[in-house]
């Protein structure tokens, strides 16, 4: 008996309103093209996607998925012996993965008010898809419990790591801001000192200019009243010994 190694790669598109999957067989002697699943139960025509909806019974067990979920829910509404408030239909629950939208991880039905664990609801839907994949491929995709990672623990560790990174970045930003503030304060002090020096220098210049102006005025006054008599030789013909006789008022030649 010859053993043929077989490997299958599966890609699941878990969407907000619709979901689907594709797969490909490959290995030593097995090759195929990528295939998508189109024969969803309850679909009007073959299509690559199924509705991302799930219906739970009063015991909290999933009883219908995809296209069948809203159809069966509608039938239960008009069933005379059915208490529809005990049934829960979920759709668009992928959006609740956002921490801002759903920080406690609880999925609440708007109609019935019943609460479910969000991770469990998503797991139920993915198990539904897994069973279809096993059926069409003939491969058992069951993972033993001891090999399944604790997703909640991993998520908690991831969130803790993100929070630590945020705190580190926050501390670094605060330190940088302190450094920038210190540098700006030092530069501002330098500018203020330079401004004070320039003001003092300007004041000194103004005082010097004012002093020079006073000196110029004083010299001008002295020059206006200066007697030039001593600079001119006395006129021997004038008994007053002046260039222009102050006594006789006669010009001297």
The pLDDT score that the predictor gives to residue 249 is 52
Separation in Å, CA 44 to CA 38, 41, 50, 54: 11, 9, 11, 18
Give SS3 for 17. Answer: coil
Query: pLDDT tens-digit profile of 116-172?
Result: 999 999 999 999 999 999 998 888 877 666 666 676 677 778 888 888 999 999 989
Query: How far is the C-alpha of 63 from the C-alpha of 72, rounded, in Å?
Result: 9
Separation in Å, CA 20 to CA 95, 98, 141, 157, 234: 17, 21, 17, 30, 131
Separation in Å, CA 66 to CA 18, 61, 85, 94, 249: 8, 15, 20, 14, 136
pLDDT at 14 exceeding the cut of 90: yes
Residue 233 CA, chain-centre distance (Å), reads: 98
Minimal CA–CA distance to 106: which of 87, 89, 121? 121
For the chain, the distance separating the N- and C-terminal CA atoms, rounded to the nearest angstrom, is: 155
- Provide the token pair at 9: 């790669």
Average pLDDT over residues 26-48: 82
Q: Which residues pair with 53 in a beta bridge?
A: 91
Q: Which residues of 175-184 are buried (b: 16+ CB within 10 A; e: fewer)?
A: eeeeeeeeee
222 versus 15: the higher-pLDDT residue is 15
Query: How far is the C-alpha of 93 from the C-alpha of 110, rounded, in Å?
Result: 12
């Amino acid at each position: 008996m010859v053993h043929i190694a077989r490997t299958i790669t599966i890609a699941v598109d878990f969407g907000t309103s619709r979901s689907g999957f594709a797969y490909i067989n490959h290995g030593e002697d097995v090759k195929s093209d990528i295939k998508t699943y189109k024969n969803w139960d309850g679909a009007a025509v073959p299509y690559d996607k199924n509705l991302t909806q799930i219906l739970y019974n009063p015991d909290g067990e999933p009883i219908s998925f995809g296209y069948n979920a809203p159809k069966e829910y509608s039938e239960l509404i008009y069933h005379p012996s059915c208490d529809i408030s005990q049934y829960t239909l979920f759709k668009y629950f992928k959006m609740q993965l956002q921490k801002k939208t759903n920080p406690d991880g609880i999925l609440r039905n708007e109609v019935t008010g019943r609460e479910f664990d969000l991770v469990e609801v998503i797991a139920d839907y993915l198990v539904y898809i897994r069973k279809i994949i096993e059926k069409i491929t003939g491969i058992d995709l069951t993972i033993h419990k001891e090999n399944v990672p604790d997703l909640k623990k991993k998520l908690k560790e991831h969130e803790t790591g993100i929070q630590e990174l945020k705190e580190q970045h926050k501390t670094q930003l605060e330190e940088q801001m302190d450094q920038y503030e210190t540098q700006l304060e030092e530069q501002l002090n330098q500018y203020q000192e330079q401004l004070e020096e320039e003001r003092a220098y300007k004041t000194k210049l103004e005082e010097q200019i004012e002093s020079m102006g006073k000196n110029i005025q004083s010299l001008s006054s002295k020059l206006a009243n200066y007697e030039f008599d001593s600079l001119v030789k006395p006129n021997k013909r004038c008994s007053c010994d002046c260039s222009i006789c102050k006594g006789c008022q006669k010009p001297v030649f």
